[in-house]
Amino acid sequence: MPGHLSAEEKTEMNDKAVSAIILCLWDKVLREVARETSAVLLWTKLDV
């Protein structure tokens, strides 16, 4: 993530990324990752 972003901007970017990923998931997959709040952790869990 770019270093020039504020903590608030980074949080907003992460939240938007998580939302975008979740919108693309089927129900069964969504149940497995629904509690993740970090886009990186969510991607990692999906990659397995």
29-48, pLDDT tens digit by residue? 888 888 888 999 998 988 86
What span, in angstroms and rounded, lies between the C-alpha atoms of 33 and 23? 12
The number of beta carbons lying within 10 Å of the beta carbon of residue 39 is 18
What span, in angstroms and rounded, lies between the C-alpha atoms of 9 and 15? 10
Among candidates 44, 33, 39, 43, which has minimal Cα distance to 11? 39
What span, in angstroms and rounded, lies between the C-alpha atoms of 45 and 48? 6
pTM of this prediction?
A: 0.73
pLDDT in tens, 15-27: 999 999 999 998 8
